Amino acid sequence: MTIRAVVTGVGHYLPERVMENAEFEKLVDTSDEWIRSRSGIERRHIAAEGETTSSLGANAARAALADAGKAAEEVDAIILATSTPDLTFPSAATMVQRELGMTHGFAFDVQAVCAGFVYALTTANAMIVTGQAKRVLVIGAETFSRIIDWTDRTTCVLFGDGAGALLLEAQEGEGSSADRGILAADLNSDGRHRDILYVDGGVSTGTTGHLRMEGREVFRHAVEKLAQTAQMSLEKAGLTAEDIDWVVPHQANIRIIQGTAKKLGLGMEKVVVTVQDHGNTSAASIPLALSVGRANGQIRDGDLVVTEAIGGGLAWGSVVLRW
């Protein structure tokens, strides 16, 4: 008998305010046509004053719990992936814990930028299979609008705010790739690439800072590393790309998503795409896409799903799971 971490609920939350590409034409020297053709993004959601990463995350967590038919009292742990926590400390995860009225269990943040949700899922899986927790809320939540330089056209048009959450529960499996739940994961990082994607502030500078990115360089690493990690986790699970029902990639740029699918030998009909409506929501983008893909009937029970992401660090990775 093998213990598996199985998805039993999924949900998301998006701030009410939608910002269309055209609005950027008034802020910086850009156009709807440039943003669409270079990134695939058409609009993104922007958090209202007073909304924070933890409030977005708590709303997504409530939606995932409702989907699973479970109460917060039944959850053992919260793992929240973010690079934009409300405060330097305490963790946004403990703030969600408080908002949900949970006074037991444990909660902590994971920071791996856009790869954060893949890291958080892998951590939750490890805790479930080793018996540390039976039911874990895994949340990706971000307010990137707060760290964007709104005068820098090369970055400000690309990002958005939002949150998504999964409830993972321990269930018994047979130990084969036919089991439901997380089947394999692959994590990587390479700190030599710090300068192509970073925030120029933080504790050492006494400022929050702004996101800085050499987009072309990040792009160059992305397709190759994403295809490699997806292949690696499939191999660990004893599966191949032919077994995939859905790829749910980090939603940064439609051209990266298309390039990675092509390298894996998959048609775009097997890829969940939300980048047009959400922009890049960093650690929130995969759970948001899982939630949308589930709600619109794409992802069904028993489907083999591969998630993959790359972000600042560089940090990248993938998870193979059967829904």
Residues that bind ligand ACO (CB under 6 A): 30, 34-35, 38-39, 113-114, 153-154, 157, 197, 215-216, 218-219, 222, 252-253, 256, 280, 282, 311-312
Supply the minimum distance, in Å, between the C-beta of residue 168 and ligand ACO. 24
Supply the minimum distance, in Å, between the C-beta of residue 27 and ligand ACO. 10
From 45, 114, 156, 210, the catalytic residue = 114
Asked if 173 and 181 count as a contact pair (C-beta separation under 8 A), the reply is yes
Peptide bond into 85 cis (omega under 30): no
Q: Which is nearer to ligand ACO, 239 or 256 (CB)?
A: 256
Q: Which is nearer to ligand ACO, 10 or 222 (CB)?
A: 222
User: Is 177 in a helix, a strand, or coil?
Assistant: coil
Catalytic residue list contains 114: yes
How far is the C-alpha of 153 from the C-alpha of 294, rounded, in Å? Answer: 33
- Rounded alpha-carbon distances, angstroms, from residue 2 to 5, 9, 103, 123: 10, 21, 30, 17
Q: Which is nearer to ligand ACO, 106 or 219 (CB)?
A: 219
Q: Which residues are paired to 211 by β-bridges?
A: 199
Q: Which is nearer to ligand ACO, 217 or 245 (CB)?
A: 217
Q: How many residues does the structure list for the chain? A: 323
Question: How many CB atoms within 10 Å of residue 174?
Answer: 10
Residue with tokens 């740029």: 253
Supply the minimum distance, in Å, between the C-beta of residue 173 and ligand ACO. 33
From 45, 210, 250, 278, the catalytic residue = 250
Query: What element of type H or E holds 221?
Result: helix 215-236
Supply the minimum distance, in Å, between the C-beta of residue 153 and ligand ACO. 4
Structural tokens at position 84: 């934009």
Residue with tokens 């990248």: 316
Supply the minimum distance, in Å, between the C-beta of residue 58 and ligand ACO. 22
Q: Which of 317, 3, 278 is nearest to 136 (CA)?
A: 3
Q: Which is nearer to ligand ACO, 114 or 290 (CB)?
A: 114
Q: Which residues are catalytic?
A: 114, 250, 280
